[in-house]
Chain A
Amino acid sequence: MTTASARSATSPLQRLLEQAWADLQPFEGRMGQTWRVALLCALVTGTAMIYHIPEASISCYLIIFLMKPDAVMNCLMGVGLIGLASTVVLLMIPVINFSIDSPVLRLAIMFGASYVFIFLSSTTPLGEQAAIVGLIVAFIMTLVTDVPIGEIADKGLMAAWKMACMPMALMVLFNLFLGIPAHTHVRSLIATRLDAAAAEVEAPGSSHAMPELLAQGNDPSLQQMLLVRLLHLVPRAQSRWLNGALESSYRLILAVQVPPGAMDADKRTALAPQIRDYAAQVRRKEVPAAVTLDEALPGPIRDALTGLTQDDGGADPKPAAQVLFAHDAFTNPRHQRYALKTSVAAMLCYLIYTGIQWDGIHTALITCYVAALGTTGETVRKLTLRIVGCLVGAAMGCAALLFVMPWLTSVGGLMILVFLAVMVGAWVASGSERISYAGVQIALAFLLTTLNGFGPSFDFSQAGNRIMGILLGIVVIYVIFTQFWPASIAGEIREKLADTIAQLKGLATRPATERETDIDISAEVYKTMAELEEKLSMAAFEPRHQRADAATLQRYDTMRADLGRLCREIRLDRRVQPEVVQRLSDMEREIST
C-alpha cells in the first residue's frame, strides 16, 4: 500500500492509469473465472439463436453480471432468479390487462415497480437481484407498446421470461458440472492465509496479499460454509474442520501482526516453514498434523496453530445473522432518494426515446438500472468506467462486423466470436471493483452491436443506435445524480470512520484477555481501512463544487491509516496506553466538527 504522500507526487491521470494497469494483472483464479463466463455466454448465445429467444445480449449480460466464482452461490442465484422472474411474469398478466388502454397508467406502474424494487435492492440482502427484477418489470411494460394487443401475453411476457430464465437455467447446469464449489474456495482461502502468515512472520510487512486478506474478514466465507453444510456438499467431518479452520486461520493472520521487535529472528525463521507445511497439508485436503511448537511463541499464534490441527479446526464460528432490512432502511432518507433518482432517470429515458420515436435507443432504460449507485463519486466513477468500456466494446463490435462477420455462416462461428470477445470483457470484469464495471460494459456493448436477430448480422445502424442509447442513459443518470440531493462520498466516509473509532474505543475498555482474542472488531477495522481507501480514491471523481476539499480528504486518509496501528496496539498491549485513547478521542472530535 503506497502512502498518501507518495501518491500525491504523481499526476492524478498517471495514478489512474497505473492503478488500472495493476488491476489488469492476472491473479489466482482469474483465468478460470474468465473462461467459464465466456464459454457460458457462447452457450447462451447459441441457445438463444437456435430457439429464437430475443435479446440474446441481455441474457449474456445477466451471466456476466451475476456469475461469481462460487458455484454453489451461482446455482442458488440461478434457481432464485428463475423463481422470482416466473412469479413476476405471472403477476404481470393481470397488471398488463388492467393498464393496456392507458399509457399514463402504464408509466405510473413502471415507475412504482422500479421504485419499490430499487428500494429493496438498496435495503435488503437481495441486492442486485431486486434491481434486475425491477429491470424485467420495466422492460415488460415497455414491450406492451410494441406488440399487437392480442399477442402480449404470448410474445412480450414469454420473451421476457425466456430471456431471463434460459441463461439462469444454463448457469445452474454449467456450474453443477464445471463450477468450483464453495468448499474448494474456502480451503484455498485457508491455505492462502497460512502462506501469507508465513511470509509475514519471515519479514514483517512483506506480504502484499495481507491487507486484502485482513479486510475480507470471515463472514462471506462463513456464509459459504453455512450453505455447504446445509446442502451437505462434503462429509460432515470435513465441513466441520473447514468451518472452524476459517476462524483459526483468521486468528493467525491477526496474531502475526505483532511489532517487529516482539519476536526474535531465530523464532521467525523456525516458525515460517512450519506454517508453510500446514498450508501444503491443507492444500492436499488433509487436517494438518500437530507439530511441537516453540513454547516461547506469542500465545495467540500458538493457539491458532494448535486449533488448526484439531478435528473441529479449533473453533465453531457462526456467520452473522442476515437481517431482512438494513437497520436504517426506513429512517435514512438516502435509500428512498436513491430509488427515486434511479426511477426518475429511467422514466426520463423512456419518455425521451418514445417521445422522439426512436426505439432503437431503448438501451438507455437498461443502462439506468445497472449504472445507478448511491453516492455521486461512485456513480460518476462507474459512469466513466461505463463510457470507456462502452467505447472499447463498440469498437470491438464494429471491427467484428466489418472483418469477421462476413466470414461467418453459422451459429457455431458466432459462438466462437462471442467466446473470444467475452473473454476480454470477463477478464476485466473479474478484476477488482475499481474496473469491473468497464468489463461488464465492454461485453455488453460488443454483444449489443453484434447480436441482432437470430444469426450472424451485418446491421450497422442497429449497432449505432444501441451505443447512442447507452450514452443517453449515462448522461441522464449523470445529470440526475449530480443535481438532485447529491450525496457526497465524504459524508459516508465520516460516518464509517466515526463508527469504527467508537468500536475501537469500546474495545479499549475491555480486559486484556478479551482484547487479545477479539476477532469481530479487528476484522471490522481492517475492512473499514480497505473500504475507505477505495472511497477516498473515488472522491476525485466528484464534480469540483461537491467534493470535500483536499485538506479534509488528506486528514481522513491519515486517520484511516492510523486505525490499523491503534487496533494492533489495543489488541496486544497488556494495558492500553493513555496515548492511544487520547488519539481516539482526538479523532472523534475532529470528525464531528
Chain B
Amino acid sequence: MTLPLFLTAGYAAAPSLALFGSYFPAWLISLGAAIVLTVLIRVVFVLTRVDDILRWRVPAYFALALALTYLILSLFFGR
C-alpha cells in the first residue's frame, strides 16, 4: 500500500488516477501531457527553423502527439 498510485495502477483493469475527487483514465492524462510536450517541441522547431522545412505539418505533429501519448502510457503506466 505504500507504493505510489501510478505504479499500482498498471495492474488494475482500467488504470486511472484520483484527481480533484474523481477518477481520470490514464490515457487521458497521457494525452494531455503529450499535447503539452508537442507544443513545446513545436516552439523549439519554430525557433530552430526546422518547422519551415517540414511538410505535412498537421499530420506530422498529430503523429508526434500520439507517439508521445503511447510513450508516456508505457513508461509511466506500464500499458
Which A residues lie at the B interface, using CB under 8 A? 176-177, 232, 235-236
In which size bucket is the chain B interface? under 10
Whether A232 contacts B58 by the Cβ 8 Å rule is no
Q: Which one of A176, A232, A236 has the greatest number of beta carbons of chain B within 10 Å?
A: A232
Pick from B46, B51, B62: contact of A176, CB below 8 A: B62
Whether B62 contacts A232 by the Cβ 8 Å rule is no
A180 to B46, CA, bound (A): 21
Q: For residue A177, which residues in chain B have a CB less than 8 angstroms away from its CB?
A: 58
Q: For residue B58, which residues in chain A have a CB less than 8 angstroms away from its CB?
A: 176-177
Within 21-79 of B, Cβ neighbours of A (below 8 Å) are at: 46, 51-52, 58, 62
A235 to B49, CA, bound (A): 9
Q: How many A-B residue pairs have CB under 8 A?
A: 7
7 residue pairs of the A-B complex, CB under 8 angstroms, read A176-B58, A176-B62, A177-B58, A232-B46, A232-B51, A235-B52, A236-B52
Q: How far is the CB of A316 from chain B (nearest CB, A)?
A: 21
Q: For residue A232, which residues in chain B have a CB less than 8 angstroms away from its CB?
A: 46, 51
Q: How far is the CB of B28 from chain A (nearest CB, A)?
A: 12
A236 to B47, CA, bound (A): 11
Query: Which 7 pairs between the two chains have the least Cβ-Cβ distance?
Result: A235-B52, A232-B46, A176-B58, A177-B58, A232-B51, A176-B62, A236-B52
A348 to B6, CA, bound (A): 51
Q: How far is the CB of A520 from chain B (nearest CB, A)?
A: 32
A176 to B52, CA, bound (A): 18
- Nearest opposing residue in chain A for B52, CB measure: A235
A174 to B58, CA, bound (A): 11
Q: For residue B51, which residues in chain A have a CB less than 8 angstroms away from its CB?
A: 232
A434 to B52, CA, bound (A): 42
A177 to B57, CA, bound (A): 10
Q: How far is the CB of B22 from chain A (nearest CB, A)?
A: 10
- Nearest opposing residue in chain B for A176, CB measure: B58
Q: For residue B46, which residues in chain A have a CB less than 8 angstroms away from its CB?
A: 232
- Nearest opposing residue in chain B for A236, CB measure: B52
A232 to B58, CA, bound (A): 13
- Nearest opposing residue in chain B for A235, CB measure: B52
A346 to B16, CA, bound (A): 41
- Nearest opposing residue in chain A for B42, CB measure: A232
A235 to B45, CA, bound (A): 12
A176 to B62, CA, bound (A): 9
A232 to B51, CA, bound (A): 9
A236 to B53, CA, bound (A): 12
Q: For residue A176, which residues in chain B have a CB less than 8 angstroms away from its CB?
A: 58, 62
Q: For residue B52, which residues in chain A have a CB less than 8 angstroms away from its CB?
A: 235-236
Q: How far is the CB of B21 from chain A (nearest CB, A)?
A: 10
Q: For residue A235, which residues in chain B have a CB less than 8 angstroms away from its CB?
A: 52
A232 to B52, CA, bound (A): 9
Q: How far is the CB of B20 from chain A (nearest CB, A)?
A: 9
A26 to B9, CA, bound (A): 56
- Nearest opposing residue in chain A for B20, CB measure: A90
A236 to B46, CA, bound (A): 10
Q: For residue B62, which residues in chain A have a CB less than 8 angstroms away from its CB?
A: 176
A235 to B62, CA, bound (A): 20
A490 to B30, CA, bound (A): 57
A236 to B49, CA, bound (A): 10
- Nearest opposing residue in chain B for A178, CB measure: B58
- Nearest opposing residue in chain B for A181, CB measure: B58
A235 to B54, CA, bound (A): 10
- Nearest opposing residue in chain B for A179, CB measure: B58
Q: How far is the CB of A230 from chain B (nearest CB, A)?
A: 11
A177 to B61, CA, bound (A): 11
A235 to B50, CA, bound (A): 10
A544 to B59, CA, bound (A): 58
Q: Which one of B46, B52, B62 has the greatest number of beta carbons of chain A within 10 Å?
A: B52
- Nearest opposing residue in chain B for A234, CB measure: B52
Q: How far is the CB of A221 from chain B (nearest CB, A)?
A: 22
A177 to B59, CA, bound (A): 8
Q: How far is the CB of A173 from chain B (nearest CB, A)?
A: 9
- Nearest opposing residue in chain A for B43, CB measure: A232
Q: How far is the CB of B9 from chain A (nearest CB, A)?
A: 23
A401 to B62, CA, bound (A): 40
Q: How far is the CB of A300 from chain B (nearest CB, A)?
A: 35
Q: For residue A236, which residues in chain B have a CB less than 8 angstroms away from its CB?
A: 52
Q: How far is the CB of B38 from chain A (nearest CB, A)?
A: 12
Q: How far is the CB of B42 from chain A (nearest CB, A)?
A: 8
- Nearest opposing residue in chain A for B62, CB measure: A176
A347 to B78, CA, bound (A): 53
A235 to B52, CA, bound (A): 5
- Nearest opposing residue in chain B for A237, CB measure: B52
A589 to B52, CA, bound (A): 58
- Nearest opposing residue in chain A for B61, CB measure: A176
- Nearest opposing residue in chain B for A154, CB measure: B22
Q: How far is the CB of A82 from chain B (nearest CB, A)?
A: 12
Q: How far is the CB of B56 from chain A (nearest CB, A)?
A: 11
Q: How far is the CB of A472 from chain B (nearest CB, A)?
A: 38
Q: How far is the CB of B77 from chain A (nearest CB, A)?
A: 23
Q: How far is the CB of B27 from chain A (nearest CB, A)?
A: 15
A177 to B56, CA, bound (A): 10
A427 to B46, CA, bound (A): 38
A110 to B51, CA, bound (A): 48
- Nearest opposing residue in chain B for A232, CB measure: B46
- Nearest opposing residue in chain A for B46, CB measure: A232
Q: How far is the CB of A71 from chain B (nearest CB, A)?
A: 10
Q: How far is the CB of B35 from chain A (nearest CB, A)?
A: 11
A232 to B62, CA, bound (A): 17
